[in-house]
Structure 1
Amino acid sequence: MRLFMKFRQTNTTAIAAAKASMSTATAYRIEKDSTLPSQRKVPRQRRRPDPLADIFDAEIVPLLRAAPGVRPVAIFEEMLRRHPELGSAIRRTIERRVRSWRAVHGEEQEVIFRQAHEPGRVGLSDFTDMGSAGVTIAGQPLDHRLYHFRLAYSGFEHAHVVLGGESFVALAEGLQNALWLLGGVPREHRSDSLSAAFRNLDKDARADLTRRYEELCGHYGMMATRNNAGIAHENGSIEGSHGHLKRAINDALLMRGSSDFDDLAAYRHFVDEIVSRCNARNSKRIDIERAELQELPVRRTSDYEEVTVRVTSSGGFTLRKVFYTVPSRLIGHRLRVRLFDDRLDIFIGGTQLMTLSRGRASPSGKHDQVVNYRHVIHSLRRKPMALLNLVYRDQLFPREAYRRTFDMLMDRLPERQACRTIIELLAMAHERACESELADQLDAALQASRLPDMAALRERFAPDPSRLPNVVVRLAPLNAYEALIGASLKGDTA
């Protein structure tokens, strides 16, 4: 239209219309009314009666003023109870009207202040649950979290698989792993209030954990800060990256084609590889920030909790509602236990004896057991019927094949014979170091629905240690070597 009006200044109507690519009829209509189409547009008017005209100001607004946080859907349901004739079609109308009313008359909302981060200043820690990932270890579901560390400026990340809750031990181990991998220390360490670690503790225990956390940060020269409890966005530099990391892990699991891993070490390596790819994308910023970090101390500080336990006549000790077996020679001794997130290091005096996998009590409070059949098999051979009602009987079997074999033995044999047979199988697995191979033979017998042939198994996994010959080695007297040396010296003199 504007083009036509421009050409019309120097041309006839027909010529101007042709140059503007419009019909002559349209050109004559424009000459009669030169108002632009946008100026002729009439504002849209309501085409049907307002269903909320009588109730919005009278009923809905008072609800909004009395309960500012009420959801629009709750108002909608209340209006239907009061006025059934309105029908369900007004839900969207109520939602739009409430949103518009709150924009004009609603309460002030909290403002998020975006921060400019300095290199080397802030490192953040948090935990995130990984239950939705569906990860399994050797077919068993893995209930775990990730400890997540991140530098605010460069986005450097480190993730550590945590088997328990948000404990100080998990924080200390994960944080120190991150700092030593990074090669430097930020000036400030920020975390949430670790409410999960403090929630069920008494006042003295909370004070002790607070003191240990401050000592950890002091060892590395970091200022310890926390965001307010329940205010997640104050830790936003890491809260947002939780989602990115979890999505990256889920995508990698889908491309891998399986979420099952042979062992925990394989899964931890899988997570480390994903995090390293993320860090590679930010390598330039990480290099810039690494130059601004403080130096690491000479050595790490403790990332464990140390407790003292006494080995009872049951051949083990109880710690945090979990019973652990140890070799029976330790009955009556007091042991020092270093409690890590995923293991226990056992010491007697200053000598480390062994490392045990850490168990955890059920969320319902039921006790658990971590049992190694090798610790008690010698006593069970003398008391086979003790197995029948043993408290930790199911945990005693090292593999599923042994448990299923015991169930079959109980169905087909007398109780005493069934107990004696399974104990002999466990003793064979221990003494002849054939736990895995023997489990394969038991699986084959279970598939054929037949009892294990003890004589054939003893012959297959020969030799029997009790039947090995006693080889006596006779040592030559040392003066015989002196005689040889003397003869050699005489020969040299000659």
Structure 2
Amino acid sequence: MPGRPITVQQKRLFMRFRTEGDTPQQAAAKAGFSTATAYRLEAGADHPSLPVAPRGRRRPDPLIAVWDSEIVPMLAAAPGLRAVAILEELGRRHPEIGVGVRRTLERRIKLWRGLHGPAQDVIFRQAHPPGELGLSDFTDLTPLGVIIAGHPLDHRLYHFRLAHSGFEHGHVILGGESYPALAEGLQNALFALGGAPLKHRTDSLSAAFRNLDRATIDDLTTRYAALCAHFGMEPTRNNTGIAHENGVIESAHGHAKKAIEDALLLRGSPAFTDLPAYRRFIDEIFARHNARRGKLIAIERNALQALPEARAVDYEETLVQVTSSSGFVLRKVFYSVPARLIGQRLRIRLYDDRLECFLGGSPVLNLVRGRADHATGKHGHVIDYRHVIHALRRKPMALRNLVYRDKLFPRPAYARAWQALTARRADKTACKITVELLALAHEAGCEAELAAVLDAELDAGRLPNLDTLRERFRPTSAAVPKITIQSVPLNLYSQLGTISRGDAA
């Protein structure tokens, strides 16, 4: 066709037809080009057997003066040096070399590394038979901006995946990487799957063992091995810093995080009423993923090991002493407990998101797990005002400089009331009213309702009136019904044991 260059195949086809006896016109028509091109080929121009001359440079080489003398020595000294860094250095040494040579420099460096660069690490692709390998890892979800009950959620995702079928399970983790988080997430995944693979692989668990002494690390290593043995799995780890050895789960992190982000955008809001609602949201995302891979998962389920009847221990256990402050310190966090436990020694089961407290063999209470502020090194506080409110009523001035005062208020409305009272009343009066407000919320069971009333009063510019609030939330006394008892003549009782003759047979 006019305007289109002929190909080597067309040239060879033309020459074959000519050797078979066709005229130039016939051979050109069969090859698909013009008669003029045929005569040009007959004259020897563009003969297919002749080598094609390489295209020469169209402009001077901008790197010819510095390539051998400066760029090659830099690459030889530091083979991993980026092209953009070399370009910046060249711009500092030779201002006449502009940034327009970046692509040329990158191509030239890539060619040099292919000819003279060091050998690179080789990735060996693996075939994973069904039921052989399951992998676990953690990934940070805090950048997604999830909000629980009005507060941003600092959290991670425990992520489990089967190498063959791609079955995935995710569990929201509130703290960092730890043995309880791994044990709980892994067991949830295995029981949701309905079986256990032959091997379980994690990374080096360096984050879980950070800041622990050698004895504790050895203990956790033993417990992890016992956990895998409980399910009949062989524990394996990839080498530290070699992420591609855990690539089956590492590559899935990005897809899972993107799926969660997309689901949040479609939902229209990252805010959830409570943590269980957010966890159900995560479960639905992974359920949809597994549904798409249902056939492969069904095949792999047939190759999995049967699960044991009971779960393994997925908590850490420790002993604490309840101090005179009606609480105890664990992992740099102060937890309040009822004052009746002062002086007692409690056995604590430490989970990722909660603490279960036992006195002897009897469970006494469950607490939400808190975290210390690692950025500032300050202790954390998990306070339930109901644990100390009776003692605080006897010493209301203790509220003024209480270490955990800001954590004592169950809702922001109570903190607002405290700030307004301290700004417009004497300290003694402010402490007294604030403590009585907390006592009223506890005794009348109206914490949420009272908080709404306090917000309304403060928004109107009024301070809370304690007498009015007490009257408003006073328990309603039920009216005692009037009961009328009719007296029975006493002579009727004497007739109960008598039998008249007329009744005898």
TM above 0.5: yes
**Structure 1 CA distance, aligned partners of 2:317 and 2:50?**
82
Alignment-derived partner of residue 408 in structure 1: 420
**Structure 1 CA distance, aligned partners of 2:176 and 2:24?**
86
Distance 1:38 1:177, change over 3 A: farther
Distance 1:257 1:470, change over 3 A: closer
Query: 1:140-159 to 2 correspondence within 5 Å?
Result: 140-159=151-170
**Structure 1 CA distance, aligned partners of 2:14 and 2:239?**
66
- Correspondence for 2:212 among 196, 201, 212: 201
**Structure 2 CA distance, aligned partners of 1:372 and 1:38?**
91
**Structure 2 CA distance, aligned partners of 1:106 and 1:493?**
125
Alignment-derived partner of residue 361 in structure 1: 372
Q: Report the more deviating stretch, 180-189 or 161-170.
A: 180-189
**Structure 2 CA distance, aligned partners of 1:12 and 1:304?**
89
**Structure 1 CA distance, aligned partners of 2:109 and 2:139?**
35
Question: How far does the alpha carbon of each residue in 1:294-316 deviate from its partner, in whole angstroms, 9 at most, with x for none?
Answer: 11112111100111111111011
Distance 1:493 1:323, change over 3 A: farther
1:273 shift after superposition: 0.6
1:371 maps onto 2:383 in alignment: yes
Contact 2:147 2:270 in 1 (8 A): yes
1:325 maps onto 2:336 in alignment: yes
1:418 maps onto 2:430 in alignment: yes
1:234 maps onto 2:275 in alignment: no
Contact 2:355 2:367 in 1 (8 A): yes
Q: Report the more deviating stretch, 381-390 or 67-76.
A: 67-76
Which structure 2 residue ranges, 5 or more long, are not aligned? 1-5, 481-492
Alignment-derived partner of residue 92 in structure 1: 103
**Structure 2 CA distance, aligned partners of 1:442 and 1:144?**
32
- What is the aligned-residue identity percentage? 62
**Structure 1 CA distance, aligned partners of 2:281 and 2:221?**
33
1:441 maps onto 2:438 in alignment: no
Query: 1:20-99 to 2 correspondence within 5 Å?
Result: 35=46, 43-99=54-110
Distance 1:27 1:118, change over 3 A: closer
Distance 1:21 1:436, change over 3 A: same
Alignment-derived partner of residue 266 in structure 1: 277
Contact 2:156 2:174 in 1 (8 A): yes
1:91 shift after superposition: 2.6
Query: 1:161-180 to 2 correspondence within 5 Å?
Result: 161-180=172-191
1:211 maps onto 2:222 in alignment: yes
Report the AA paired with residue 396 of structure 2: P
2:265 aligned counterpart, secondary structure? helix
Alignment-derived partner of residue 480 in structure 1: none
The two structures, once aligned, show a CA RMSD in angstroms of: 3.0
2:128 aligned counterpart, secondary structure? coil
**Structure 2 CA distance, aligned partners of 1:24 and 1:460?**
107
Alignment-derived partner of residue 479 in structure 1: none
**Structure 2 CA distance, aligned partners of 1:33 and 1:470?**
121
Alignment-derived partner of residue 464 in structure 2: 452
Distance 1:108 1:429, change over 3 A: same
Contact 2:24 2:35 in 1 (8 A): no
**Structure 1 CA distance, aligned partners of 2:171 and 2:504?**
72
**Structure 2 CA distance, aligned partners of 1:320 and 1:413?**
38
1:201 shift after superposition: 1.5
**Structure 2 CA distance, aligned partners of 1:148 and 1:355?**
27
Alignment-derived partner of residue 393 in structure 1: 405
1:225 aligned counterpart, secondary structure? strand
What is the total number of aligned residue pairs between the two structures? Answer: 477
1:198 aligned counterpart, secondary structure? coil
1:459 shift after superposition: 2.0
Alignment-derived partner of residue 130 in structure 1: 141
Report the AA paired with residue 408 of structure 2: L
Distance 1:60 1:4, change over 3 A: closer
**Structure 2 CA distance, aligned partners of 1:209 and 1:418?**
49
1:136 shift after superposition: 0.8
Greater fraction of residues in helix: 1
Report the AA paired with residue 351 of structure 1: S
**Structure 2 CA distance, aligned partners of 1:266 and 1:382?**
40
Q: TM-score, normalised by structure 1?
A: 0.89
Query: 1:282-321 to 2 correspondence within 5 Å?
Result: 282-321=293-332
**Structure 2 CA distance, aligned partners of 1:66 and 1:150?**
42
**Structure 2 CA distance, aligned partners of 1:238 and 1:21?**
54
1:74 shift after superposition: 1.9
**Structure 1 CA distance, aligned partners of 2:431 and 2:134?**
57
Distance 1:438 1:56, change over 3 A: same
Alignment-derived partner of residue 427 in structure 1: 439
**Structure 2 CA distance, aligned partners of 1:170 and 1:366?**
23
**Structure 2 CA distance, aligned partners of 1:32 and 1:177?**
80
Report the AA paired with residue 200 of structure 1: N
Report the AA paired with residue 400 of structure 1: P
1:39 shift after superposition: 7.1
**Structure 1 CA distance, aligned partners of 2:347 and 2:167?**
37
**Structure 2 CA distance, aligned partners of 1:426 and 1:372?**
11
Report the AA paired with residue 383 of structure 1: K
Question: How far does the alpha carbon of each residue in 1:67-87 deviate from its partner, in whole angstroms, 9 at most, with x for none?
Answer: 122222222222222222223
1:98 aligned counterpart, secondary structure? helix
**Structure 2 CA distance, aligned partners of 1:291 and 1:18?**
64
Contact 2:202 2:246 in 1 (8 A): yes
1:86 aligned counterpart, secondary structure? coil
Q: TM-score, normalised by structure 2?
A: 0.87
**Structure 1 CA distance, aligned partners of 2:125 and 2:14?**
52
Which structure 1 residue ranges, 5 or more long, are not aligned? 472-483
1:358 shift after superposition: 0.3
**Structure 1 CA distance, aligned partners of 2:392 and 2:189?**
46
1:197 aligned counterpart, secondary structure? coil
**Structure 1 CA distance, aligned partners of 2:243 and 2:389?**
52
- Correspondence for 2:289 among 278, 293, 311: 278
